[in-house]
Amino acid sequence: MKSYLAAAIQMTSVPDLEKNLNEAEELIDLAVRQGAELVCLPENFSFLGAEEQKVAQAEKIAAASVTFLKTMAQRFQVTILGGGFPVPASSGKVYNMALLVDAFGTELARYCKVHLFDVNLPDGNTYRESATVEPGQDLPPVYVSEQLGNLGLSICYDVRFAELYRHLSQQGAEILFVPAAFTAYTGKDHWQVLLQARAIENTCYIIAPAQTGQHYGRRQSHGHAVIVDPWGAILADAGDKPGVAIGEISPHRLEQVRRQMPSLQHRVF
């Protein structure tokens, strides 16, 4: 693994597949022109609309999302993470699936979100992800790359479950993906601190692409796509507008932090 630049893309996805993919392509191009070799798209990058629309269009969205990711990876010669899109499940619901592809357009890893966001928020918004999403049954994978390091997958609400990231670090993860569409209400208080906690306790880099702004109806996301280093320092923050956060992933920095704070070696339980 060598030092390289990674990009956490920030989007305002809407209930329009073509528009979202056009925006994603522009932001991937922007990231690559800034030197990124690993580009990460947020959860719901290809579609963010009403739940019934998502399920009804799932087959089309899934096919278009996979084709898009493979095409963009080959065109720009970078590894790309598609942070989450609906894939039809046999139950009539969908999986929320993240997909990692390399510069040849080859699938490297996939993960179906296991923790589903069923929450009543004080701002009056109610979320029932489980009404339309089938939870994944498998622990998230770690993809081992000589060029990019050991890459651990997760999606959004997973960030509140520390045991998932401990599993990934035990499997050798050095970089943790947390693509998200974090709500505006919870994001202002919890987003950054949770990401920093996951980075610090696992001495891993965090790459967290995000949704931002108003999507449809009352659905609004927090933004602040970030890259966090293993010490918990914020290397880049995309703010609250669509854009790109670019940060350096350094094996030297990773080794330095793990030497200075060898907490992974001190686990008792």
From the number of C-beta atoms within 10 Å of its C-beta (0-12, 13-18, 19+), residue 216 rates as middle
Listed in sequence order, the DSSP H helices in 35-183 are: 51-56, 58-76, 162-170
Q: Which one from 40, 112, 156, 204 is the annotated catalytic residue?
A: 156
Pairwise CA distance, residues 135 & 113, whole Å:
6
241 is catalytic: no
Q: Which one from 43, 129, 134, 174 is the annotated catalytic residue?
A: 43
User: Kindly report the CA angle at 134 between 130 and 135, in degrees rounded to 5?
Assistant: 90
Q: Which one from 37, 40, 113, 174 is the annotated catalytic residue?
A: 113
Q: Is the dihedral of CA 102, 169, 85, 195 positive or negative?
A: negative
113 is catalytic: yes
Q: Taking a C-beta distance cutoff of 8 angstroms, is the pair 45, 20 a contact?
A: yes
Enzyme catalytic residues: 43, 113, 156
